[in-house]
Amino acid sequence: MLTTLSKDSVPITREQDVVPFRNRVKEVALKIGMGVVNQTKLITAASELVRNMLRYAGGGEVRIEVVSTGRETGVRLTFSDKGPGIADINLAMQDGYSTGKSLGLGLPGAKRLASEFDIKSTVGQGTTVTIIKWKNG
Task: Indicate the Cα dihedral angle 124, 116, 105, 89, nearest 10°.
Answer: -30
What's 22's DSSP letter? H
14/21 Cα distance (integer angstroms): 11
Q: Are 45 and 78 in contact (CB under 8 A)?
A: no
pLDDT, tens digit, for every residue of 116-134? Answer: 999 999 999 999 999 999 9
pTM recorded for the entire structure: 0.92
pLDDT 10s digits, 61-77: 999 999 999 899 999 99
pLDDT for the residue numbered 102? 53
pLDDT bin (cut points 50, 70, 90) of residue 3 is confident
